[in-house]
Structure formats: structure tokens, C-alpha cells
Structure 1
Amino acid sequence: MQSHFNPPSRWQLLALVALVLFSPLAIDIYLPALPQMANSFGVSDVLAQDTITWFLFAMGVGQIFAGPLADKLGRRTVALAGITIYGLSACLAWAAQSIEWMLMARLLQGLGACATSVAAFATVRDIFGPQRSGKMISYLNGAICFIPALAPILGSWLTSQFGWRSNFSFMAAFALVIGAVVMLNLKETNQTPTNTQVFKLSRYGEVLKSPIFVFHATLCMLAMAVILGYVTSAPVILMGEMSLSMSAFTYWFAINAVFNIIACLIAPKIMDKVGTRKTIIMGISILLSAGALMLILAPLKSAASFMLPIILCSVGFAFVLGASAGKALAPFGDKAGTASALLGLFQMSGAGLIIGTVQRLHLDTTTMMALLMWLLLPGLLVLLSKTAKHWHEVTC
């Protein structure tokens, strides 16, 4: 089935790219400011890190509702609503005088970012059709990968020049500008809105009955928990415990992001060559090795001893997430949207819950990171079983 829409203009493409940047921007830009934020509110580092986990939790839960709402009310409407919520919640975060108000603002901001992302990918499917949309979605995902490398540099400058609250001023300004771009250039692409219920439990139950989905979605969740553990802990250990400057922290963060981008580009080629099952096995094996290396190098207590295992685990993460996400959605044709929403719930909210729990075990950072990496060990054992081999022979 081919799309009946005209090819998008440059402004429309810019709007679509910008819509998927709301989420990574809201996480990565203020990472250098986390220690300052904790000091400002007089709270522990764990509570400051919760501003990230609450955001991701809301993003995951919101996907269950944002997808059906985009079908019912239209992509443009959901995108503009998401931008509005995102911008207003950024203002609320800027004005927050307590950690409780900050957490509430971040919860709302996660819902706004979820809506912009869902609307963007749904619009791409409308414009390019089921055959050509995959390539465009890959480009959008590629744009997302650059934010972890660039946003902390901007955030470090903003924090050093204007204080940590300026990061949220930037998010509000970004929402205002992109809101105008979307309003002026992005037309509604959903020509046949549905009248179905926004939330229908049975629709999700059918997906959850699939062991292929549950297993691979769980792998995505555990892999995302590793990266989330790194993102929330890196500012504390590098700038707090190791006394690195903001610029040095940003340097290491950018290096890791580059390796992650390269791994994301390589992963599809490896999948084509050896298949998804072997790619996931490689990814988990790399993560397990990185966990062991993390503990071995821990006594050195240097930025390099912490970041080298992290760089290694970022490569493993790219392999596991890329192959597992595709395999989780593979059994579903007409339910692809529902399965995608549930995968987002596992990946965002599930990972957020894992991190929120593990951070309260009061482990040192290196032990916590090694534990998160080793949580994937049962997945490796399952993949080596006959059952998993059959799962991957069915569609691979």
C-alpha cells in the first residue's frame, strides 16, 4: 500500500526530526547539572537521579495512551498537545523550589515527550507508507543518537554560565520554537481517525500471551536499565567522587556516545550476517564481560577505569536492543502499534523501576553497574536453549 501524500518539504522533515528530539534532550542536557541540583534542593544524589527515572517511567506508561489518541484525535493534535505539556512542565521544573515539585514536573514532561515521539513516528508511517517508512524511522533514530554526544556540552555551558535552572529554560524555549514550526508546517496525515476506545485491556493481553514478545521485551528492558544506570550515576561518580570538571565529564560522555552511534550503525549489518539470535548472544556476552571488567578496574578509581567498561557495555547494549526490539515486534502484523506501545512500556517504565529499586540498595556505583549488566545472564541461558532456537528459526 503506497502513501497518497506528497513528499514532505524540508520544513516538514525538520519538524519530524525535532519531535523525536524532545525526549533525549530532556534527559541528556542537564546531566552535568545533577550534582548542583541535588545541592540546591538539599537532597541525596539518588533523589536527584529520580528526576530521570520518573521522566522515563511516564514516557513508558504514556505510550499505551498516546498511540490510540494519535489514531483517534490525529497526529498533529497529539504532537501539539505534547509540545505544550513539555514546555509548561519545563517552566514548572525551572520554578520548582522542592524536589517534590521537580519530580512532578518531570513526570508531566515525560508524558509530553512521549506524545511528540509517538506522533512523529505515526506521521512517518502515514507519509511514507509501510514499505518506505522503515528507512525514515532509521534516520530519526539516528538523529536521536547524536543528542547524548551534543546535549551535555550545551548543558555544561548553560549550567556554568547561568546555573542549573537554565537547562529547563532552554527546554521551554525549544518547545516554543518547535511548536511554531509544527503548527505552521506539519499537516494532519491521519485521514481516517478511529472511534475505538483509547485504552482496551484485551488488546494488550493478546500481545502479552506471546512468549517471544515477553522474552525479547524483557531483554530490551534490562539492556535499557544498564544504560539508564550509567546515565544517572555518571555525574555522581565522575564529578562528585572523582572531582572531574564539567568539561571533562562532557568529554567522556561524548566519547561513549560516539562508540554507541558506531555500534548502532554496525548492529544491523551483523544481524544480516549472523541473524538476530547470535547478535543478541554477542551483545549479552559483551555486557557480561563489561560487568566483570568494571569490578576488576574498580580499585583504580579513575575516570578511565569507570568509562572503559561503560564504552564496552554501550556496544553490547546496541546489539541487544536493536535485535531484541525487532524480534519482539516480529510476530505482530495488525497489532504492531499495540505491541510497540507495550515494548515502550517495558523499555522505559520497566527500566525506570529497576533503576529506582537498585539505587536504593546502597551499593557503590561500580558494583551497581556490574549487577545491572549481569542481570542479562538468564537471558543468555534461555537463548542457548532449543526453545529460543525455534523462536528464531520461525521468522529468521
Structure 2
Amino acid sequence: MQKFLFLLLTLVLLGPLGIDLYLPAIPAIALGLGSSESVIQASISLFILVLGLGQLLAGPLVDRYGRRPIAIAGIMLYMLGVTIAATSVNAPMFMASRVVQSLAVCCTSVVVFSSVRDRLQGDDAARAFGFLNGTLNIVPALAPLIGGLIAQYYGWRAPFWALLGYTLMALLLVLAFLAETRPANTQQVGRLPVGQYIGILRDKNFLIFALVNAGAMGMALTYVSLAPGVLMSRGGLTPLQFSLVFGANGFWIMLMSFIANRIIRKLGRPLCLTIGGLLMLIGGSGLLAGLVLLPAQLQLATWVYMVPVASACAGLAFVIGPATSYALEPYSSQAGIASALVGFVQMAGGAALGLIAMALPLPPKASLALVMLTAFVLAWAAKRRSKRVKGTLRALSPETLG
């Protein structure tokens, strides 16, 4: 099973690598393409938007044609997008490359969620999702530093060529080791299954658990968007210091995810939802308390911002695995479609939550605190709902473990 999860991890990493690896090179990309930094920065939002919407298309394809073929197609499409980015001569061409890459990640992401749902359920699935999410956080911890060093010595196109090499490796691994996991009873559709999407969304259990991921994603996007201004523009950190703080938080989330997996194994998913919700509540309350109680000069200290953020990010690590497994558990014959819908709710809902919070006439810390408290409410609602859902722990067969 570990080999299976590590294989899926190579696919999961395509998403964050497509964003984090080139972040330090954004000024150089803008200069090289004769564009503004704001336009190149907008490619991140474009990537996330397409990722949310595109999964609604990828879900039916994964159920119709299988996990393995769509994984291979997604990786090849990703390679095309990376090549376009590395050879871009203007901003529109670069933005088009981001759309192609994001569409590719739609395919690989749905394959990952569906494959886990095919082979695991209950607490096993929750631990698998938690492992993938936790290990995923090594990318924002290390990718900006690695991408920045590559760009500094070899130019802004070099990180994309490096990403092409990684993607080629992922393709070879998938071709060699990824077996088809689609169940024989999978429902297949020939067009966009709007009716099935609506039917799943009407399932209150699904919606409550999927919205937990939206709250967590909204918190993460708001934190990433506001952190440079809070820590560098106002707090006075250098870019290197900011990268180290940003990276340390990524390792922290990874550690918390592994701890959460152990708690799931011993005490179950509802307790993880409870712990995660409370950690988000502590984070949001801590940010607000700092704004109200601390003198203005002390509010600029890095720890005043990062300690509450660390608490809330630990909460994120505790809730995503259980919430995802609860949402997908009833849909063994519609795993691709349900997985796509989870991704759509997470990305679109998280982006909407973050954009609304940042658009409010509030200080940045207050905006982030508002999203953290919203994420707490959603996690707490899911915890209450979990009492009505009987999770199962299935004994894995030798075929499954192979």
C-alpha cells in the first residue's frame, strides 16, 4: 500500500509544483516577457480557477475511460503546458500555458482521489488522504527556495525545464506501476453529468463534509495571499527570511498531518474533526486578540502572526483527511464524479471565501481571522454530522496491499 500511495503522491505534487516552483521568479518572468508583475501573479488565480472548474469535466472522463488512461493523458498534457511556459515569448502565451497545466492537474487530481476511494474506505481512506495532504506540504516548504535558486543561476525558464524532467519521471512511473483501479460497477456517462452533480450536491452529508475542505482551502489561500504584505511589507522580513518562515510552516503542517493519521488509526475520524476545528478556533481568536490587546509595534512581530497561523494550519491538517473520506464514502460507483465535485467545492468555495474576506474593508489579520473562524464553524458542523455516519474499517486483502 505504501508503494501505491507514493505513486499517487508523484501525481499529487504536480499541482503545487505548478504554482510554488516559479513564485520567486515572477519578477524575472514579467521582465523577460515585457509584462507587469500583476499580470504574471494573476496566473496563480487563473490556475486555481481552471483547476476548480475543470475537475467537473475530468470526473466523468475518469469514470468512463478509467484511472490509468486519464492519468497518462493528464501527465502528457502537463508536459505540453510546461514546455509552452518555458518557451513563452509573451504574457498571453505564458497565461495559456497555465491553463493547459491546470487542465492537466484536473485529470491527475481526480485520478488520485478516485484511486484512493477505489481501494480504501473509512479510516483507511482518511489516513491515505491525510498522508497525501501532509506530504504535499513539503512543496510550499521547499519549492520556492529551489525554484528561486534555479532561476537565479540559470534564468527564469529553467524551473519549468526542471519541472518537465520531474513530469517525465512521473510518466515513466505511472506507465510502469499504476494499475487500473476502476470498479466494474462504475457508472459511466457520455456527457457532462449535470443531473448527477446536482443529485450529489443535494446529499446533505456530502455537502457538509465537502464544505470543510472549502473552508480549509479558503484559509490557506487567504494566508498565502496576505502573508507577503503582513510579514515583508509591514513586518520587515527579507525575501529569504520570508521563505524560511513560509517553509517552516509547510513542514509544520506535514508533521501535524502525520500525527492526525495516528489519531485516526487509534481514536477515529470524529475526534480529528473536533481537534481540527478547535485549532482553527484558537488560531482565529489569537489573531483577533493580538489586534485588540497588543500595542501597535508588537503587532508587527512575526510570531504574533505566525503562532495563530500555525494553530489554524494544524487544524487544516486534522480535518482534510476525515472530511474527504466522509464525503466520498457513499459513492463507490461514482467515485470519479464525486471526487471531481469534492475538488470543485474545495477550490471554488475556498477561492470565493478567500476573495470575499480579502475584499472586506478589514485589516489583513482580521480578514484571515474571519476565514479561520468560518472554517471552524464548518468543521464543527461536520463533526456533529459525523455522529450520524457510521465509518467502517475494512480489512485489506492481499490483492489490495499489492
* TM-score range normalised by the length of the shorter chain: 0.7 to 0.9
Deviation of 1:138 (Å): 4.9
User: Which deviations, in whole Å up to 9, do the C-alpha atoms of 1:256-301 show, x marking residues without a partner?
Assistant: 1122122222334556266366335414422422431563567432
- Cα 1:145/1:358, change in 2 over 3 Å: same
Tell whether the 8 Å contact from 2:278 to 2:315 is kept in structure 1 after alignment.
Answer: yes
Q: Is the 8 Å Cα contact of residues 159 and 167 (structure 1) preserved in structure 2?
A: yes
Residue 263 of structure 1 is aligned with which of 256, 259, 279? 256
CA distance in 2, matches of 1:257, 1:321: 15
SS in 1 for 2:192: coil
| Structure 2 partner of 1:4 | none
Query: Are the aligned partners of 1:214 and 1:328 in contact in 2 as well (CA < 8 Å)?
Result: yes
Maintained 8 Å contact 1:159/1:166 = yes
Counterpart in the other structure of 1:288 = 284
Structure 1 segment 3-22 matched on structure 2, within 5 A: 15-22=7-14
Which residue of structure 1 aligns with residue 168 of structure 2?
176
- 8 Å CA contact 1:286–1:315 kept in 2: the answer is no
CA contact (8 A) 2:212 2:323 kept: yes
Conserved in 1, the CA contact under 8 Å of 2:276 and 2:317?
Answer: no
What does residue 352 of structure 2 align with?
353
CA contact (8 A) 1:156 1:246 kept: no
Counterpart residue type for residue 93 of structure 1 = A
Aligned to 2:52: 60
- What is the number of equivalent residue pairs in this alignment? 381
The DSSP-based 3-state class of the residue aligned with 1:324 is helix
Greater shift after overlay, 234-243 or 165-174? 234-243
- Secondary structure at the aligned position of 2:36 is classed as coil
What is the one-letter code of the residue matched to 2:281?
Answer: S
1:319 aligns with 2:322: no
Change (3 A) 1:181 1:89: same
Deviations 1:39-96 (A, max 9, x none): 6665365x54432232222222222222321222232221121112212212223344
Identical aligned residues as a percent: 30
Correspondence list, 1:1-396, <5 A: 15-34=7-26, 36-37=28-29, 42-43=35-36, 45=38, 47-123=39-115, 128=119, 134=125, 138-190=130-182, 192=184, 195-239=188-232, 242=235, 244-270=237-263, 272=267, 275=271, 278-293=274-289, 295=291, 299=297, 300-330=299-329, 332=331, 334-359=333-358, 365-376=364-375, 379=378, 383=381, 389=384, 391-395=385-389
**CA distance in structure 1 between the partners assigned to 2:263 and 2:124 by the alignment:** 22
Amino acid in the other structure paired with 1:286 = I
| Worse overlay, 35-44 or 256-265 | 35-44
- Paired amino acid for 2:46: W
Distance (Å, rounded) in 1 between the aligned partners of 2:46 and 2:362: 21
Question: Counterparts of 1:321 and 1:247 in 2: how far apart (Å)?
Answer: 30
Q: Which amino acid aligns with 2:198?
A: G
* Contact 1:264 1:318 (C-alpha < 8 Å) held by counterparts: yes
1:49–1:233 CA contact under 8 A, matched in 2: no
Deviates more, 1:48-57 or 1:149-158: 48-57
Q: Give CA-to-partner distance per residue, 1:355-381, whole Å, 9 cap, x none.
A: 34554557654343233324346547x
Aligned to 1:3: none
Hey, what's the Cα distance between the residues in 2 that align with 1:96 and 1:292? 44
- Matches of 1:237 and 1:289 in 2, distance apart? 18
Compare 257-266 and 284-293 and name the one that shifted more. Answer: 284-293
Q: Tell me, in whole angstroms, the C-alpha distance in 2 between the residues paired with 1:189 and 1:330.
A: 16
Structure 1 residues 165 and 352 mapped into 2: Cα distance closer, same or farther (>3 Å)? farther
Q: Structure 1 regions of 5+ residues with no counterpart?
A: 1-6
More displaced 10-residue stretch of structure 1: 189-198 or 212-221: 189-198
Q: CA deviation at 1:307?
A: 2.5
Instruction: Output one character per residue of 1:192-228: Cα deviation in whole Å (capped at 9) or x when no partner.
Output: 5865224211111221112232233223212211111
Unaligned runs of 5+ in 2: 391-402
Alignment root-mean-square deviation, CA: 3.6
**CA-to-aligned-CA distance 1:295-334 (integer Å, 9 cap, x gap):** 3567432433332332222112223434433443455554
Whether the aligned pair in 1 keeps the contact of 2:20 and 2:140 (CA below 8 Å) is yes
TM-score relative to the length of structure 1: 0.80
Secondary structure of the corresponding residue to residue 197 of structure 1: coil
Q: Deviations over 1:167-200 (max 9, x none)?
A: 2222222223322333344454558586522421
- Structure 1 Cα separation of the partners of residues 313 and 100 of structure 2: 29
Q: CA deviation at 1:100?
A: 4.3
**Hey, what's the Cα distance between the residues in 1 that align with 2:36 and 2:356?**
18
